[in-house]
Amino acid sequence: MFTNREQIARSCLIQCKIILLESFKSFCGAWVLSKQKLRIGIVVGEVSGDTLGVKLMRSFREQGIDVEFEGIGGPQMIAEGFHSYYPMEILSVMGIVEVLKDLKKLFAVRDGLVERWTEHPVDIFIGIDAPDFNLRLSKTIKEKNLPIKTVQYVSPSVWAWRQGRVHGIKRSIDLVLCLFPFEKTFYENYEVAAAFVGHPLAKQLPLKNPIAEAKHQLGLSAHKTHIALLPGSRRGEIERLLPLLTGAADTLHRKHPEVEFLIPAINDARKHQIEQGIQHLDAGLKSKIHVLENSDAESKIGRMVMNASDIVALASGTATLEAMLLHRPMVTFYKLNWLTYIIAKFLVKIPYYSLPNIIAGKKVIEELIQADATPQHLATEIERLMDHETAHIQMMQHLSMHKQLISGNTEDPVQAILNCLKTG
């Protein structure tokens, strides 16, 4: 027999369980505990977005949520069962002037998605990166009063330039999922709903990453020096930046003929483009350049090449974060259309362009931008990193920032999205 006190405690415990169950049901939405399928629209525009997208898809399913995904996805998402209505590369356009050339095509894609979701609304739309396209798509969804919640996963760099965009984001986006803690603070200052979910790669990539194992995985000699050359994954980037890299490689080859160069290619089309771009090179240099094509559904060739390289030279972008998390010494560069650069220069509000420098709040890696991005300057900076002490200092700074990104309190993106879906 239970005493009165035990009966009261037992009754309270039962009531608590009921309340917790109801709270869980309310928080996650009725579809979690029922047979109703959640429908989510996602749009990505490049490999890094595809990687985030497939991880998000898996997280929903791992949490037992019955969900189907559609929109624009990459090969990783499609392999996971994503219904993609347009090829991802259709959005792979960068730069103000460059986008203007493809406006008609981009508007047609946006209107096609809006038309489909007007007839068959998804429950929530998640734009992953690609802010120029996704923010406009979210704006159109709101203007048409479609019953669709809008989420932007990966904040556009409003804290860096064109800060006035935050007001449009506040009107068009119900929730911003931030990869870095300083982004959430920025949005809170403007009363924009935001959640710091952290960068998946910061937790996925180990703090210790032996380079010998990475070289072995690609069939490379552990005793040779390998330099990764990454012009980007878009056709336009490779066209614009590959000559810069091959020019630097030519300078280095003359002084260090034993060094080998690795260039990743995300698919067969990009591999063909790169191979065409190195045809004019001296036979000796060409024999030292290895173009490695992606061979798996996860599009990890860029990461594998950086991981196996002693030094990384790469176009400024999200890949600089990967190189930092791999703790590889690197130098970054970028060249834009001249008019795009002049416009951007007047709009940028921060002193750095690359994520490692932005996160650190100081220059950790060298940035060669526009006129400074020459083959000679790039070769000089790569050669500077061939000094072991200089490289070691940079690698220790990378490790410190890696630890910083996994030590903060992060929210679960799935739960943040479901909570957003439930709000009025």
What is the mean pLDDT for each group of 10 consecutive residues in the chain (424 residues)?
50 48 45 66 92 94 96 96 94 57 84 97 96 94 97 89 88 95 91 91 89 95 96 89 97 98 95 96 96 80 96 90 96 83 68 85 92 96 96 95 82 95 80
How many whole angstroms separate alpha carbon 158 and alpha carbon 43?
Answer: 20
What is the per-residue pLDDT for 143? 97
What is the per-residue pLDDT for 30? 43
Residue type, 135: L
Tokens of 54: 């497939």
What is the per-residue pLDDT for 361? 83
Domains of the chain: 22-199+409-422 (3.40.50.2000), 204-407 (3.40.50.2000)
- Would you say 333 and 373 are in contact if contact means Cβ atoms under 8 Å apart? yes
What is the per-residue pLDDT for 422? 86
Q: What is the dihedral of CA 200, 206, 210, 212, to 10 degrees?
A: -40
Distance from chain centroid for Cα 20:
36
Helix (H, G, I), strand (E, B) or coil at 331: strand
How many whole angstroms separate alpha carbon 167 and alpha carbon 173?
Answer: 10
Number of separate helices (H) and strands (E) present in the chain: 21, 13
H helix or E strand, kind and range, residue 46: none
- Would you say 409 and 400 are in contact if contact means Cβ atoms under 8 Å apart? no
For residue 196, what are the contacts with CB-CB under 8 A and spacing of at least 6?
178, 180, 181, 183, 184, 408, 409, 410, 411
Residue written as token pair 């220059």: 363
H helix or E strand, kind and range, residue 400: helix 388-407
One DSSP character per residue, 278-313 reads TTTS-HHHHTTEEEEE--STT--HHHHHHHT-SEEE
- Would you say 336 and 370 are in contact if contact means Cβ atoms under 8 Å apart? yes
H helix or E strand, kind and range, residue 416: helix 413-422
For residue 331, what are the contacts with CB-CB under 8 A and spacing of at least 6?
311, 312, 313, 365, 366, 368, 378, 381, 382, 385
